[in-house]
Amino acid sequence: MIIVKLGGSVITDKNRENTARKRVIKRLIQEIKKADRRIILVHGAGSFGHIHAERYHLDKGFENEEQLKGFSITHLNVRRLNRIIIDCLQRQGIPSISIPPLSVVEMSDGRLRYISTGCFVRALSLNLTPVTFGDVVFDERRGFSICSGDMLVLGLSRYFEPERVIFVIDEDGIFDKDPKLHGNAKLLTTIDYRDLPSSSEMVYPDVTGGMGGKIEVIKRLAEQGTEVVVVNGNKRGRLYRSLKGERVKGTLVTGG
């Protein structure tokens, strides 16, 4: 089994509120269909979640009544993006179900404490593809927190022990420094997790931690023995070939 994370920067226009990149979503799901692998699909919130979460400072937890409006709006909008993903899966002939984190995740002080995996197990046993996503969830200490898709990938990987985790992002892989800021940034094609850049070197910040947060999750995945592949979802065929176990331009993180 493989866990696939579709990054919000690939499936949405992160600069335009509630704007899905439907052609890209369709192509990526066609690649998933063609590869015919058993997967859990996780997707980011992109412009359906980040803009509202930042506007209402949801990453800080509950501080004032105005944030409750932001909580509701953010949850509503990420469900809209999730519906777009589910509809596309169904049109491509991939029976799937949505598993909202708000219903199955418990957090404490901004950290993932528990995921109820029963729905995922039952879905997979029936050959349904479970789909979950970055969302706002309840937090026993803060009132609520943001649960990123990357957090979900880590939590699900601990339980399901996938053969591979594939992160689909809007760059060719992991670089030695932020390629958006440094023209001489070097793509790291194969790297041991202990040699990955520190999160402080990879700060393209957002309310869910940005690339620095993703690097920390990838380190923890590789440390527990999970193979991690990072590929560019804007490049046709790279997700498909990664699902088939082929090497593509991207980053392979080893460890454990």
The pair of structure tokens assigned to 204 is: 């393209």
For helices 210-223 and 149-160, what crossing angle results, to 10°?
A: 10
The residue among 165 and 52 whose pLDDT is bigger is: 165
SS3 55: helix
What are the distances in angstroms from CA 86 to CA 44, 131, 150? 14, 8, 19
Contact (CB, 8 A) for 96 and 89: yes
CA triplet 118, 35, 167: central angle to 5 degrees?
65
- The count of other CB atoms within 10 Å of the CB of residue 103 is 12
For helices 22-35 and 66-91, what crossing angle results, to 10°?
A: 50
DSSP letter assigned to residue 188: -
Q: What is the pLDDT of residue 199?
A: 59
The residue among 199 and 68 whose pLDDT is bigger is: 68
Give the largest CA-CA distance in the chain: 50
SS3 75: helix
Domains, the chain, in order of start with CATH, read 2-254 (3.40.1160.10)
Residue 123 confidence (pLDDT) above 90: yes
Which distant-in-sequence residues (6+ apart) come within 8 Å of 71 by Cβ?
56, 58, 136, 144
| Chain centroid offset of residue 20 CA | 15
Q: What is the pLDDT of residue 256?
A: 64
How does pLDDT run across 146-163, given as a tens digit for each residue? 999 999 999 999 999 999
Q: What is the pLDDT of residue 204?
A: 47
Mean pLDDT within 86-104 = 97
From the number of C-beta atoms within 10 Å of its C-beta (0-12, 13-18, 19+), residue 47 rates as buried
Q: What is the pLDDT of residue 213?
A: 80
Q: Which of 143, 147, 85 is nearest to 115 (CA)?
A: 147
How does pLDDT run across 174-231, given as a tens digit for each residue? 988 878 788 888 999 999 989 887 655 554 444 445 677 889 999 999 998 999 999 9
Q: Which residue type sits at 244?
A: K
Q: What is the pLDDT of residue 20?
A: 97
